[in-house]
Amino acid sequence: MRILNLKDTHELALKASTIVKNELLKNPKLLLCAATGNSPLPLYQQLAEEFKRKTILFQQIRILTLDEWVGLSSPVGSCDSFLQEHLVNPLKISKDRYFSFNTSAENLTDECLRMQAVLKKQGPLDLCILGLGKNGHLGFNEPTAKLEPHCHIADLTHQSQQHSMIEYSMSKPTQGITLGIKDILSSKRILLLVSGTGKEEAKKQLLSGRISSEWPASILWKHKNVDCLVTPQN
């Protein structure tokens, strides 16, 4: 794992966007797995600015969502609406280049299988953008005795249910749907963004290098091509 300490989120966004652009230059049809939340938001905003300057660079990029809430009363706060607003629309990603979960599907187990098939057809993931959860989760791969390898329905911890994305949701989701740890580790390159408040313990556990399913992000030490960009807690 390549760990780079940066002074603030602006530096993080610049460095992260440089990594994304360099990967796009090597592979214009890059399959990008996109996380949501405050950690990757500065990166997506920077990419939106880059799009204005060099539109052609983003004309073939493909986006696949990392996870989604299950049981939201409205689209507000969903991972899909977040990515539509901050990544898909700004980069003018066409429908055939955007792959997301349908949590309104009648059978969510079948939806997991569908998304797994999409990943198999479109993949492997070229670059996976991740944020560090306060309890060390990756996507909705929550701390547990045994991590799930592939796309699955996850029971959310109380901490995850307090996420700022669903702060104003009428009903707090108790479940999420997410790519599994093996899916994430199958990515050719991983970009882990560590910023925000309340993550000191998760950061400490990650940077210790000790691998434990109780701190899912620590599993990334098993991958050979991870960039971990860190800002001071603010």
Tokens of 113: 């299988």
Residue range 178-228, pLDDT digits in tens = 999 999 999 999 999 999 888 999 999 999 999 999 999 999 999 999 999
Domain 2-230 is found in CATH 3.20.20.220: no
Residue range 79-113, pLDDT digits in tens = 999 999 999 999 999 999 999 999 989 999 999 99
pLDDT at 174: 83
Stretch 23-40: mean pLDDT, rounded? Answer: 96
Q: Provide the pLDDT confidence category of residue 75 given band limits of 50, 70 and 90.
A: confident
Query: Could you confirm whether 22 is annotated as catalytic?
Result: no
pLDDT at 234: 53
Query: Could you confirm whether 67 is annotated as catalytic?
Result: yes
Q: Which residue in 23, 126, 142, 183 is the catalytic one?
A: 142
Interatomic CA distance for residues 122 and 19, integer angstroms: 21
Query: Could you confirm whether 137 is annotated as catalytic?
Result: yes
pLDDT at 173: 81
Q: Would the CA dihedral through 172, 177, 179, 180 be positive or negative?
A: positive
pLDDT at 100: 97
- Identify which has the larger pLDDT, 165 or 197: 197
Q: Which residue in 68, 126, 135, 152 is the catalytic one?
A: 135
pLDDT, mean over the chain: 93
Give the CA distances from residue 36 to residues 47, 77, 86, 105, 227, in Å, rounded to whole numbers and listed in that order: 14, 10, 9, 21, 18
For residue 77, the SS3 value is: coil
Interatomic CA distance for residues 68 and 130, integer angstroms: 14
Q: Which residue in 86, 137, 152, 163 is the catalytic one?
A: 137
Question: What is the residue extent of each domain of the chain?
Answer: 2-230
Q: Provide the pLDDT confidence category of residue 153 given band limits of 50, 70 and 90.
A: very high
pTM above 0.75, yes or no: yes
Q: Which of 99, 98, 103, 95 is nearest to 74 (CA)?
A: 103
User: What burial class does residue 78 get, using C-beta atoms within 10 Å of its C-beta: 0-12 exposed, 13-18 middle, 19+ buried?
Assistant: buried
Stretch 155-175: mean pLDDT, rounded? Answer: 72
Query: Could you confirm whether 227 is annotated as catalytic?
Result: no
pLDDT at 18: 98
pLDDT at 72: 84
